[in-house]
Structures are given as structure tokens and as C-alpha cells.
Amino acid sequence: MARELTSSVSPPRAHEARGGGRAAHAPTRPPRWRGRRARGWLYVLPALAVYLGFAIWPALNTLRLSLLTWDGILPATWAGFDNYVEIFQDSALYEAILHSLVLIIFFSFIPIGVGLLMTALLMGKVRRGMTFFRVVFFLPQVLPLVAVGITWRWLYSDSGVVNQFLDLVGLGAITRAWLGDYQLALIALGLIGTWVMSGLCMMLFLTGAQKIDPSLYEAAKLDGAGSFRQFRHVTLPGVRREITVAGVITTIAALASFDLVFVTTNGGPAGQTNVPGLLVYRLAFNEGDIGGASALAVVLTVIVVAVVSAVRYFTRDES
């Protein structure tokens, strides 16, 4: 076994030697090196165990359960791909996916826009009160989404703050229970996401922007660039990686949204805000269809991976 391991390990080193510049070290690596490498694994082990136990293992289990018919107690029977077939025949899935795609606009696009705007406004100008801004805008991230959801449900209610404000500014005619409105509930829900995610995006972009070499701004200024052009040609490329990160995090939040929807609308009114996460929950815990729920969870994972890959592709750093 050991020999096999060695033999299979060595070719890539050769490969690395061919491609990289570290060729000279490879053959003369001191014998202690392997011991150090083993010790390295030791450090990784606790995290690896947690990751395997709480992420990989449950994920594989979900995959297995998705191929079974199981109610949680009685012996499971093999279902093959029946659960998948059933899910794809259910129109509720397509509606739910459509809703979460709409939510991407509110959870991802708008917050990234708002975050960039705030970064442009705050960058290099405000010195005092910066911490205050950060805390205020980051606050929604710190609060549990369930608490956020319940609070917003009250804010949006018939006599809630949102409607009181609209009354105050003379827009009393359009007041309604926003989350109970058939046409507007999804948008109202999305805006809660915007509120939650904007602060996160701003924080990320500000951190990125502060790493930009000030001399770049000076050079741009000397070339006669105004604030907007400085932002466009210096700040924006400087925070490109952060935009990718923000895009990935917020898109996942939109596609995998569950808690916020569960406490604010529970998919209502009349299914207008159903999202795949909610359907997974209902299948598993209301209907006791663990197999179907797992299959749907697998489909949701595939969708998330596909969309996130697309986000990463479109925002990739070409340099």
C-alpha cells in the first residue's frame, strides 16, 4: 500500500517540476518533510472531521435518501429515480424556482448596486463616523433572520410603520398589507432581503476598496479624472473579487432562502412566495415524504451550484 501511495504521489511532482519553478527542490526534499506533512494533516484533522461529519456525510445521506421511499420510520424501499420524476412533474417546483430567481434581483443585484453606491460615497471622504455607518448597515447581518422576518411582518402589516409612513407623506391611497397582497408579496419579501444583504455588500466592498493603493487615485486625479471616473476606473476594478464573493453569497441566500420566507409569508398568499426550500420542508415534515424532500434538496443543490458557477464565470478576473 505504502509503495502504491508513493508511486502515485511521485508523478505529479515530476509534473510540477516540469511546469513550475520549484523543480530543483523536489528531488532533494529532506526526509523529514514527509513527517511534517503528516503533522500538517493532524492540524487539519479536527476541522476535516467536523466537515465530513456535518457537511459531506449528511449531503451523501441526502443523495441516498433521495433514491428511497421512506417516511422516517417504516422500512425504506428502493425508489430509484421515481422521486425525481415526481418532482419534475410538479408545477409547484417551477413556480418556486421562478420565485427564487426573482429573489436574486432583490437579494443580489440591488444589494450589490447599493453596496457599490455606498462605497463610492464613503470612500476616502468620510473619516469620522465611519464605524457608525458600518455598524448600522451591518446590523441586519447580525440579527437572526427569523427575528428580522417577524419584525418586518409587523412593519408591513395593515397598521404597520410602512403604511403609517405612506399615510404621512400623502400616499395613504396605496397602503395595504404588503405581504398579504397577491401581486406585491414577492417584491415586499425581496425588499427585506435587500435590506439584509446591502450592508454585507457594503462592508465587503469597503474592505476591498481600502486595500487599493492611494497612488492610483492620485494618478487618476492628475490625469483629470473626476469622482465618477475614479470610481469607475480605480475603485470598481479594485473590488472586483469582492463583487464576486458578494455575488456568490447573496445568490446562494436567494436560492436557498427558507427562514425569512417561512416566518413572513410561509409561501403565501396562495403560493405566491413559495420557494424550493419551503417545499423541501413541507415534503419532509408535513407529508413525511423523506425521499421526495431529499430529491428536491438535491435538485436545489444542483441549481445553486449551476447559478453560482455562472456568477463566478461572469465576474471572473480576466487578468
Partner 1 sequence: MRITTPARRHALVALGVTAALTLTACAGTSGPAGNTAPKVDVSTTIPSDPVTLTLAYTNDPPTKALIDGFTKKHPNVTIKPQMTPFNDYIKSIKLAMSSDAAPDIAQYNPGAMNSLVPAGLILDLGPWSKAYGWNTKFPPASLEVLSSDKSAKQFGTGSLYAVPGGLSVLGVFYNKKIVKAAPKTLAEFEAAMKQAKDAGHTPLSNGALQVGGFHLWNALLNVTGDVDDYRSWVYGKPGSTIETPAAQKATQLLTDWAKKGYISSSASATADPDALASFAKGGSAFLITGNWAASTLETEMGNDVGFFLMPTESADKPANVASGASVAYAISAKSKHPNVAAAFLDYLGSPEAAKIEFDGGFMPVDTKTELGAQGLRGEISTVFAQVAQNNGIVPFPDFASPGMIDKLTPGIQGLINDKMTPDAFLRSLQESWDAHHGS
Residues that bind partner 1 (CB under 8 A): 8-9, 11-13, 15-16, 56, 60-61, 63-64, 67-68, 70-76, 78, 153-154, 156-158, 176-182, 185, 264-271, 282, 285-288
Q: Would you say 249 and 262 are in contact if contact means Cβ atoms under 8 Å apart?
A: no
Q: Would you say 83 and 287 are in contact if contact means Cβ atoms under 8 Å apart?
A: no
Query: Among residues 231, 230, 244, 146, which one has the least CA distance to residue 201?
Result: 244
> From the CB of 264, what's the least distance to partner 1, in Å?
8
> From the CB of 76, what's the least distance to partner 1, in Å?
4
CB closer to partner 1, 19 vs 129:
19
> From the CB of 82, what's the least distance to partner 1, in Å?
14
> From the CB of 121, what's the least distance to partner 1, in Å?
34
CB closer to partner 1, 72 vs 129:
72
Q: Which amino acid is at 92?
A: A
CB closer to partner 1, 95 vs 221:
95
Q: Would you say 237 and 293 are in contact if contact means Cβ atoms under 8 Å apart?
A: no
In 10 A of CB 38, how many CB atoms?
9
Task: State the DSSP string of 152-184.
Answer: HHHHTSTTSHHHHHHHHTT-GGG---GGG-TTT
All three cell numbers of 159: 397598521
The SS3 of residue 18 is: helix
All three cell numbers of 18: 516540469
Locate cell 473579487: which residue? 241
All three cell numbers of 50: 467536523
Q: Would you say 118 and 194 are in contact if contact means Cβ atoms under 8 Å apart?
A: no
Give Cβ neighbours of residue 81 (< 8 Å, ≥ 6 apart). Answer: 67
Query: Among residues 279, 264, 272, which one has the least CA distance to residue 147?
Result: 264
CB closer to partner 1, 106 vs 156:
156
CB closer to partner 1, 225 vs 263:
263
CB closer to partner 1, 83 vs 265:
265
> From the CB of 126, what's the least distance to partner 1, in Å?
37
CB closer to partner 1, 9 vs 161:
9
> From the CB of 176, what's the least distance to partner 1, in Å?
7
All three cell numbers of 31: 526526509
> From the CB of 158, what's the least distance to partner 1, in Å?
4
